[in-house]
Structure formats: C-alpha cells, structure tokens
Chain A
C-alpha cells in the first residue's frame, strides 16, 4: 500500500471514462413537499463523487433513491446505460449498488464474521445437512479485512465491541468483497474522531482504487476535498454547485458549502464591534490544518 492513496490526481489511474451511474434531472416529492428537484450527477468507475450539503439539503433522499428505498418521481436514473426505477433495496443491490449507511447495517450482538457474511452466507453440504461453512467464512473475512488493513484479533468478537471506525471499515470491506460496482457512503466520517476519519478516508480511497465508483455523502468539505474527484453541493433539494476537482479549490468548496455570501453576512453580523471579522475562508484554511 502506498502512502499517496488519499491524494487523488486530476487524471485518475483507472479508466475513469466508464460511467456506471447517472442521474438526469431526478426529483422526488412527498406530497406537496419537493425534497429533491432536478438533480443530475454521474458516477464513473474509479472515481469518487462527493455529495455535500447541510442538514435537510436532500442528501438522504438522494441516497434512498439510488439505494432503492424510494422511487424517484421525476427524471431518469441510469445504471450501466439502462434506465431503472428501483422499488426495493434488493433491486439496487442486484445491480451492484451497495450502500454503507450511517448506522452501517451491522448487528451489534453478532460476531464479526457473521456480520460480514450476513444475508449472503456461505454454505456447504446439501439437503437437510446444508450448513454454514464457518471455517471458510472466518478465513475469507480475515483475509478481506487484512487486505483492507484492518486488524481484528478475534473474529468471534461481537461487532458492538468495536470502535466506530472499525465498524465503518468492516461495512466497506463487505461491500467491496460482495462485488459492489457503486459504493454509496452515507456520512462515513460524521461520528468519528480525526484519526479514525483518516483511516476511513483511506478505505474510501482503496475502494476507488479497486475500481469502484464511489458516492461519498458528507457535510465536511475538508474530508470531501481529500479524496473527491467531483463535487456536487445540494442546497434545499437543488444542485447549487457541480464541479470537477481541477475547477475548484478547497476554499471555494467550503465557501459554497457554507452558503457563500450567507456566511460572510453571518460572520459580519456575529463579529463584535471594533474587532475585524475573520473571513470565512481564512477560518476554513485554519480548520484544514487542525484536521490533519
């Protein structure tokens, strides 16, 4: 493993021209509430598309549409060149779209290897003697986790005893092992400390290097900028920014994310009289250093 996995280049090493997933003008209404309006984005193999937005911007709705939990009410969702309307998570999974949710879809009281293979258990034997192939599952889980650089001494440990970062990594390793082509990560760094976030970001980059198309949902522009190839900012259900990495700097991204001019006005408003207000961009730059 080389140390530069977290530094995306402007020309990704993988064949990034293959578009796996595409949204055209996708919208979703719940009754008279338009949660999502006219969202277009494209996910390519070996690329990380970051979707940013504040609370209530429509990020969750977007994931739920791609993951098959909701059906979009307008626009087109295209997977591998074929237009689809998902009506269940299973349909989405069958097309190679794996979602790692915030709550990770791990069962805390179950052991690591049981969680790793949950829903896709390996079996041996046939008829009434068809049974779990425990030995092979433990072995594969161990191999896959080691490959991702996650070391857990005892695969019999319940997942609930692991740290948030470790759990996140297990969920990602599982998605990769089961042949996901598109990986949706729902705020994987939201509840983690700085170091653990770093570890998780590294696995996100590993998933990209393995040739997956990654959709990285976050509200942290610093994390997004570390790994992203493409940035989409959602604001009140609309796309307010859609730029490739080479066309935007972290400062611009942070600024856009924070609502740009709104934040400047806010910082002016909050500044004590007589004290020079610190511009939001400088704040952001300082924050970035803390982050590392």
Chain B
C-alpha cells in the first residue's frame, strides 16, 4: 500500500472549514468574558439595596460606596493580575500598613520632608514584593506558604518597631510635617463634582483598572501574565521570561499596597500598627468574585473592580438599609459562593455553545 493513495483524499477535507464548529454568536462571546458573572451579581446587589434602602440611592451615598470600593479595588486589581499570573499574596493586607508606617516613622524620626518617607516606603513595598517573587522562583514553594511567612514577618515588624519607637501601638501624627499637604492632595483629597465630594482614590482606581486592562489585553507583558498563570513550563519553553514576570507581579502588589498605605496615612495622619490583617482575603475575594480563576491563567482587571464594587455596595448598603452590620460577613460569604458558582456555570455554558 503506498501512502500516496491514502494521503491525497484527506487534503481537500482538511482545507474545507470544519463544519462541526459553528461560529459563536456575539451574545455567547460576551457571556464567555470572565467578568460577566460578577457584573450580573453587581447589578442584582445594586437593585436590591436601591429597593430596600432609599438613602442608598442618593448621590452622596453612592460616592461613599465608590470610595469604599476604591480602597479595596486598587489592591484588588493588583491581586487579580497576580492571580491571573498563578500566584497568591497573603501579605497584601499588611504591606499596606507596613508602607504607611515606614513612610511616617522614617520621616518623623529623622525630621525629614514626608515625601522622602513616601519614596522610601515605595522602595520598601516594592522590595517586599520582589522578595516574595524571588523566593518563590528560587525555592519553587507554593506562594501561599511564602507569603504567609512574609505576612507574619511584616505583622510582627509593624507592631514591634512601632512599640520600640513610640512606646504605643500607633505611629506619631505627621499632620504638621513638611510635605503633608502636598501628599494629602495626591493620595487623600476630595474633589467636588456637582456638590458631591468624590475621593481622589476613586479616580486613581479607575486609572489603575484602565492601565491594568490595557496591559493585560494589549501588551506583551499581558500575554506573558496569562501564559505564566496558565502553564509556566510551557511559557518558559517558548522563551517567556517567567521569573521576571512573576517577580514583577508581586512588585505590582507591593506598589498597590504602598499606594493604599499612603492614602491611609494622609487621610488619618497616624497609623495603627496592627492594621491590615485580614484585608488580604477581601482582595482575593474581590478578584475571585470578579472572575479570576484561583488556579491562574484566566481573569480580568475589570472583574476585580466589579468585585470591589460589590463589596463596597454590600458593606455600606447593609448600613443604609438599617440592618445589623454583623450580617455583613454572612452576606459576603454567600456572595463569594454565588459569584463563583455563577462564573463557573456561565463559563461552562459559553464554552459548550
């Protein structure tokens, strides 16, 4: 039997379009986006509180909701990028407190301009991220364990160093120091838009989400983030700089932590050294509710923003509705489960069609 007789008839069949695969409709393609499940959830939560809490509908309340969402959202977008890259960062919550403490303590103790402290805190936060990433790539241990270690280390440092220098649990007030007004304008000012005060963090949040979306979908680095999260061995084999990408992602979380830390410092002028603990889970929840796959390789930056928005709406909506605020955690857990189940169903349905 010669192969020429068998190979020839296969050729036209291959050239023809595969008729088993129908073209996906626009609706299906929209439904297969990662953030769509959370968007439906966000609308449901919004409608619920609009109905049960009349004050929720007022513009100032919505501005407060947006502010509450923004402080979570700025971190959540970085955590989402990291999660798409296949890793966790449990130190994301305390690094906020660490950078705020570092900025205020350094400037206060040495009597320097606050901006020097701000820059130093940035270097420190990026350093913590780089350390997490480097150790992860070096040892190959799960990021869960490594960042759990950094979480406790930073928590201990925050409390220990603050106690050592101030004798108390909170840092000294920096409100009357050089550079406070300027830094406050950048990190913690309020803009008046049509009589409603909008916190500047809302604008920063929107900017960061736009940049993250652009990077994820339209740059080489974004392609690499999806690749290292989806299959890092495959990514390495085709020449993706896996190490740099992952370390960069941890540093991005460090950067976001620094930013939120600066916001807290310049809103309250003094920082509680035990703060930030437990926040890391809120960020992870926001990213997961927003459609990020816990195992990496799938998700979106906009999704994390929607997740943060759901969080903001729920935490304040319960108060506006006059319910006992203790119900919030229950609501949060239910939301998390519902959102992930909806995401799963929507994704499976869209993939099938």
* Nearest residue, chain A, Cβ from B2: A7
| Given the contacts A107-B235, A151-B15, A7 and B3 also touching, CB distance less than 8 Å | yes
Residue contact A107 to B227, C-beta cutoff 8 Å:
yes
Tell me if B's interface is mostly helix, strand, loop or mixed: helix
Residue contact B7 to A4, C-beta cutoff 8 Å:
yes
Residue contact A107 to B18, C-beta cutoff 8 Å:
no
Residue contact B220 to A121, C-beta cutoff 8 Å:
yes
**Which residues of chain B come closer than 8 Å to A289, judged between CB atoms?**
1
Chain A, 105-126, CB within 8 A of any chain B CB: 105-110, 114, 117-121, 123
**In the complex, how many angstroms separate the beta carbon of A3 from the nearest chain B beta carbon?**
3
Residue contact B6 to A292, C-beta cutoff 8 Å:
yes
Residue contact A149 to B7, C-beta cutoff 8 Å:
no
Residue contact B220 to A198, C-beta cutoff 8 Å:
no
Cross-interface CB contact of A131 among B21, B218, B227, cutoff 8 Å: B218
How many A-B contacts if CB must be within 8 Å? 115
**Which residues of chain A come closer than 8 Å to B17, judged between CB atoms?**
151, 153
Residue contact B11 to A93, C-beta cutoff 8 Å:
no
**In the complex, how many angstroms separate the beta carbon of A226 from the nearest chain B beta carbon?**
6
Cross-interface CB contact of A132 among B6, B14, B218, B237, cutoff 8 Å: B218
A7-B224 Cα distance, complex, nearest whole Å: 40
Instruction: Pick out which of these stretches binds chain B: A71-79, A96-104, A230-238.
Output: A96-104
| Given the contacts A131-B218, A149-B14, A6 and B3 also touching, CB distance less than 8 Å | yes
Residue contact B3 to A119, C-beta cutoff 8 Å:
no
Answer yes or no: A287 CB below 8 A from chain B CBs: no
Answer yes or no: A154 CB below 8 A from chain B CBs: yes
A119-B223 Cα distance, complex, nearest whole Å: 8
Cross-interface CB contact of A119 among B18, B233, B239, B293, cutoff 8 Å: B239
**Which residues of chain B come closer than 8 Å to A7, judged between CB atoms?**
2-4
Residue contact B24 to A93, C-beta cutoff 8 Å:
no
Answer yes or no: A150 CB below 8 A from chain B CBs: yes
Residue contact A154 to B23, C-beta cutoff 8 Å:
yes
Answer yes or no: B103 CB below 8 A from chain A CBs: no
Answer yes or no: B298 CB below 8 A from chain A CBs: yes
Answer yes or no: B10 CB below 8 A from chain A CBs: yes
**Which residues of chain A come closer than 8 Å to B237, judged between CB atoms?**
89, 99, 101, 105
A101-B238 Cα distance, complex, nearest whole Å: 11
Provide the B287-303 mask, 1 if CB < 8 A to any CB of A, else 0.
Answer: 00000010001100000
A199-B9 Cα distance, complex, nearest whole Å: 12
Residue contact B226 to A134, C-beta cutoff 8 Å:
no
Answer yes or no: B8 CB below 8 A from chain A CBs: yes
| Given the contacts A89-B239, A151-B16, A106 and B234 also touching, CB distance less than 8 Å | yes
A105-B228 Cα distance, complex, nearest whole Å: 11
Answer yes or no: B345 CB below 8 A from chain A CBs: no
Answer yes or no: B231 CB below 8 A from chain A CBs: yes
Cross-interface CB contact of A151 among B5, B6, B14, B351, cutoff 8 Å: B14
* Nearest residue, chain B, Cβ from A98: B238
Residue contact A108 to B18, C-beta cutoff 8 Å:
no
Answer yes or no: A270 CB below 8 A from chain B CBs: no
Chain A, 157-194, CB within 8 A of any chain B CB: 161
Answer yes or no: B230 CB below 8 A from chain A CBs: yes
Residue contact B10 to A121, C-beta cutoff 8 Å:
no
Provide the B25-42 mask, 1 if CB < 8 A to any CB of A, else 0.
Answer: 000010000000000000
**In the complex, how many angstroms separate the beta carbon of B273 from the nearest chain A beta carbon?**
38
**Which residues of chain B come closer than 8 Å to A151, judged between CB atoms?**
14-18
| Given the contacts A89-B237, A151-B15, A161-B351, A107 and B3 also touching, CB distance less than 8 Å | no
Answer yes or no: B306 CB below 8 A from chain A CBs: no
| Given the contacts A110-B297, A226-B3, A118 and B18 also touching, CB distance less than 8 Å | no
Closest 3 pairs between A and B when the two form their complex, measured CB to CB: A3-B8, A107-B230, A119-B238
Given contacts A151-B14, A151-B18, 19 further A-B contacts (CB under 8 A): A3-B8, A5-B7, A6-B4, A7-B4, A89-B237, A89-B239, A101-B237, A103-B233, A106-B234, A107-B231, A108-B230, A109-B226, A110-B230, A132-B220, A153-B18, A154-B23, A198-B10, A199-B14, A202-B10
Give 9 pairs: A residue, B residue, CB < 8 Å, sorted on A: A89-B237, A107-B227, A107-B234, A119-B239, A119-B240, A132-B218, A198-B10, A202-B7, A292-B3
A contact residues vs B (CB 8 Å cutoff)? 1, 3-7, 89-90, 93, 99, 101, 103-110, 114, 117-121, 123, 130-132, 134, 149-154, 156, 161, 198-199, 202, 226, 289, 292
